[in-house]
Structure 1
Amino acid sequence: MFDFSGKTALITGAASGIGKATAEYFFGCGANVVLADINEGAARVVAEALDPSGERVSAFRYDAGASVSAAEVVAHAVERHSGIDHLVSCAGIYDQQITAEMTDEAWRRTIAINLDGVFFLVRSAIPVLRDNGAIVTLASVAAHVGGTGGHAHYGASKGGVLALTRGLAKDLAPRIRVNCVSPGLIETPMTGGLIGRMGEDILKQILLRRYGKPSEIASVIAFLCSDAASFVTGETIIVSGGAYMG
């Protein structure tokens, strides 16, 4: 575990899956945590379970595809904790549509939430990020391989996150470090459908012969935000159990 005492982490997509595990991990390391999610009710349940007093944890309704929502959640973090030290963008969507049948709406929604949302959030947070802070974005192995069939839009959105991360690292250096994590197949509500459809076929591609746990991504995110990674910026760590070695 790392020591984030006195630090503030703003984590999006924090009501479930990797975002929830990351919020739990950072709280356990002593951080103040703002849980941002489109499902405010679920985020509040997580917040209350972590910190019934509400002193160190709060929940906020956040729509990743709306720039105004990014500004609002950043303002909330500043109001509660005077600034932000660690920014983690876990919010995202993952649906299936064959490219030939994909609607304009499906394409734009995926890009808006998975890619535009990262840009909106970081842009809003830059003025209030404290010196020596850290940003971690979430891409996916799909960004490196193009995704599985029917997920070209998802792969494209996450490929954009990889490029955006590197650009941000250049723009924000040396004051802020920016890195990315590319998870493989992690057992979350978002991936349940894929695991159900492909099951053993996917499992055979994973060298460790199991699916990842959200906590195993959370610990890598925490590492990248910690002083242990103080000379790491502009990098992507792939966490896939050996399914992809880029």
Structure 2
Amino acid sequence: MRQAAMPAKTVSYDFTGRTLFLTGAGGGIPAAIAKLFAASGANLFLTDLHPDSLAVLAGELGDNTSLAIHPLDVSDPEAVTAAAEACRDRFEKIDYVVTGAGLYEDGTVDGMADEVWRRGIAVNLDGVFHTVRAGLPHMPDGGAVVNIASMAGHRGSFGHAPYSAAKGAVLALTRSLAQEVASRNIRCNAISPGLIDTPMVRGLMQERGGEMLNMTPLGRLGTPKEVAEVAAFLCSDGAAFLTAETIHVNGGVYIAS
């Protein structure tokens, strides 16, 4: 397998005075998004189910008056509404909503308990709906929503039916929402990451790493930062005429399907 080129230098964005509402912030990709937006001057309202992961991320971001952390279960609609209101109270508005919270559990359909299915849908689909619905009333015209979907939403994923089914639905939700909020000049797009170097993917790589990399034209795993760069672009003025789209970030592996 050929040696792949290294990622390009970070593109600069200016989000000064803008506010990001981010779910699942303690995860690999959302944490990279938080760091990039912080470096671009944004106010950050970071949520996650696990307070410890939020505390670690806050420590990495340093002493920052433009940062707020908020423990949140995105499957709880009332809690999500309260979090969005807390973000508005702290920063006056929400310019960007990025739905990074996710749940990836193993198990085939033939032996799957109802609660496993419901839990996967509750986090990966209902959580996106709750978050976007709660954020919209506090978004000024010209804002942006970025939903983190997955290649699994296009191809399916053996042993991860709730996850892939929910992510496929997120793609449709994104397209529907884009039509509904276009009159406010709010754009809504999705990102479908492929094999990104995160804890979730490392387990898969132990089982099928060689096979998966051989199917990837660029011949390597992506990095969370590379997904974050796309999220920042979709929120930026550079994407002002881009809505209802899904951007694949997977090194070309999707064409191998």
Q: TM-score range by the shorter chain?
A: over 0.9
C-alpha distance in 1 between matches for 2:155 and 2:162: 12
Letter of the 1:30 partner, please give it: G
| Correspondence for 1:122 among 120, 123, 132 | 132
Question: Which residue in 2 is equivalent to 1:157?
Answer: 166
> Structure 1 unaligned runs (5+)?
none
Identity %: 45
Letter of the 2:215 partner, please give it: Q
Judge which range, 150-159 or 231-240, deviates more: 150-159
| Residue 96 of structure 2 corresponds to residue 102 of structure 1 | no
Letter of the 1:81 partner, please give it: F
Contact 1:115 1:160 in 2 (8 A): yes
Q: Give me the TM-score of the superposition, normalised by structure 2.
A: 0.92
Moved over 4 A (4+): none
C-alpha distance in 2 between matches for 1:183 and 1:83: 28
| Residue 183 of structure 2 corresponds to residue 189 of structure 1 | no
Secondary structure class of the residue paired with 2:254: coil
Question: Which residue in 1 is equivalent to 2:5?
Answer: none
Deviations 1:176-200, CA, capped at 9 Å, x for gaps: 1100000001111222211222121
Structure 1 residue 15 displacement after superposition: 1.1
Q: Give me the TM-score of the superposition, normalised by structure 1.
A: 0.96
C-alpha distance in 1 between matches for 2:83 and 2:60: 21
C-alpha distance in 2 between matches for 1:16 and 1:152: 21
| Residue 64 of structure 2 corresponds to residue 78 of structure 1 | no
Structure 1 residue 42 displacement after superposition: 1.5
Judge which range, 198-207 or 104-113, deviates more: 198-207
Contact 1:93 1:110 in 2 (8 A): yes
Matching of residues 207-222 of structure 1 within 5 Å: 207-222=217-232
| Correspondence for 1:20 among 11, 25, 31 | 31
C-alpha distance in 1 between matches for 2:28 and 2:60: 15
Structure 1 residue 74 displacement after superposition: 0.5
| Correspondence for 1:64 among 74, 79, 98 | 74
Contact 1:44 1:58 in 2 (8 A): no
Structure 1 residue 111 displacement after superposition: 0.4
Structure 1 residue 44 displacement after superposition: 2.1
C-alpha distance in 2 between matches for 1:4 and 1:45: 23
